[in-house]
Amino acid sequence: MKEARIPLAKPSITELEVAYAGDAAANGWGDRCYDYLTRFEAGFAAHMGSGYAIATSSCTGALHMGMAAMGIGPGDEVILADTNWIATVSPIVHLGATPVLVDICPDTWCIDPAAAEKAITPATKAIVATHLYGNLCDLDALRAIADRHGIALIEDAAEAVGSTYRGAPAGSVGVFSGFSFHGSKTMTTGEGGMFFTPSEALYEKVLTLSNHGRSRKEAKQFWPEVVGYKFKMSNIQAALGCAQLERVQALVARRREILHLYQERLCGLPGIRMNPELAGTRIGAWMPTVVFGAESGVLSSTVIPVFQGRNIDARVFFHPLSSLPMFEGLAHNPHAIDIAARAINLPSFHDITLQEIDRVAEVVRSVLHA
């Protein structure tokens, strides 16, 4: 008899989300068409401590508008880690700038500050710090580098809701940041994201861009001052976000609990490393990840079929961007290449049971002892 499927991810939806979304669907029209949207943005800004938030259709859209508002375009270079989902690099390409791919730190799997500084040229406009799987970049080092060279530090916090760096929420340190509320994330609106910045001036620029280039200070109706974008989140999605934001502490706590349960079962095994939590940091633990030691000989390409055979949905580590056809040959980053070949993401949805975690851990042990 086939074992019950264990999915990689799915959201935690309660009666609160259903009630808010139902209210938005039934009543969120006319002069109430943005009620949940403005409430979600204000609530998220408060969650970050202070600053300005704009709900978007995706984190990609948030990054795109932020970079556009900063004037990033043709002739400019933007440095980012080779280990990234394409969503981080696509806004750079669409704006006509040049992505510069650098290696990652072998312990955090996030951008290596030394490699980033080495890659800076007179054309460099920004460094993007991606908090991979909820792990945290070395923001002190990156901010010092950015300040020293007069360039911007941008945070891709798509996967880092609930992560904190020296007490500051991930996404609050850079010039601006983007968050994702995809259905797989700790906090979800189905699809969707958030632009966040501590800068009122940058906020106003992005707010104008986000509404087809129409400034909120313009008295004329339907009068854009620039060609903007339409990356707005819907009111119904924002209703889900409001409910999730009310539960965010519990959602993050559960992700951390799931990671710790995996660590208890796996980190005593030889050659196993999982998401690190370095001094001064608290990770949101979005995606528990196992990196098999090189000495084990275990590769993700051989592990995934074993999980599939047990009806478990594990996922490969992000491929280096430089290995994709559109960026092939752009860089050679040994850590990004090596770690991707021997790492996997484990199921971590909110309602996963102890029995399901045990099944996943059993598969990891089996491939080590094969």
Shared domain check, 273 and 231: no
Per-residue confidence band for 2, with pLDDT thresholds at 50, 70 and 90: confident
More confident residue, 193 or 329: 193
Shared domain check, 343 and 302: yes
pLDDT beyond 80 at 3: yes
Shared domain check, 113 and 182: yes
What digits encode the pLDDT tens for the residues 93-108? 999 999 999 999 999 9
Report which DSSP code applies to 74.
T
Shared domain check, 292 and 158: no
Instruction: State the total domains in the chain.
Output: 2
Picking from 202, 227, 246, the residue at the C-terminal end of a domain is 246
Q: What is the CATH number of the domain that holds 281?
A: 3.90.1150.10
Shared domain check, 329 and 216: no
Shared domain check, 231 and 261: no
Shared domain check, 221 and 254: no
Tokens of 337: 């290449």
Residue 128 located in a structural domain:
yes
- Average pLDDT of the segment spanning 71-83: 98
Shared domain check, 282 and 140: no
Shared domain check, 264 and 188: no
Q: What is the CATH number of the domain that holds 101?
A: 3.40.640.10
- Average pLDDT of the segment spanning 215-242: 95
Percentage with pLDDT > 90 across the chain: 96
Shared domain check, 303 and 169: no
Cβ-based neighbours of 105, under 8 Å, separated by 6 or more? 111, 112, 138, 335
Percentage with pLDDT > 70 across the chain: 99
Mean pLDDT of the chain, nearest integer = 97
Least confident of 80-84, 87-91, 366-370: 366-370
* pTM of the predicted protein model: 0.96
Per-residue confidence band for 354, with pLDDT thresholds at 50, 70 and 90: very high
How far, in Å, CA of 302 to CA of 305, rounded? 6
Output the pLDDT for position 370.
Answer: 58
Shared domain check, 330 and 215: no
Burial of 50 (0-12, 13-18, 19+ CB in 10 A): exposed
Residue 2 located in a structural domain:
no
Cβ atoms of 146 and 261 within 8 Å: the answer is no
Range of the domain at 269: 249-368
Residue 96 located in a structural domain:
yes
How far, in Å, CA of 286 to CA of 291, rounded? 16
Output the pLDDT for position 289.
Answer: 98
Output the pLDDT for position 163.
Answer: 98
Residue 54 located in a structural domain:
yes
What digits encode the pLDDT tens for the residues 150-176? 999 999 999 999 999 999 999 999 999
Residue 198 located in a structural domain:
yes
Residue 3 located in a structural domain:
no
Residue 9 located in a structural domain:
no
Cβ atoms of 65 and 206 within 8 Å: the answer is yes
Residue 7 located in a structural domain:
no
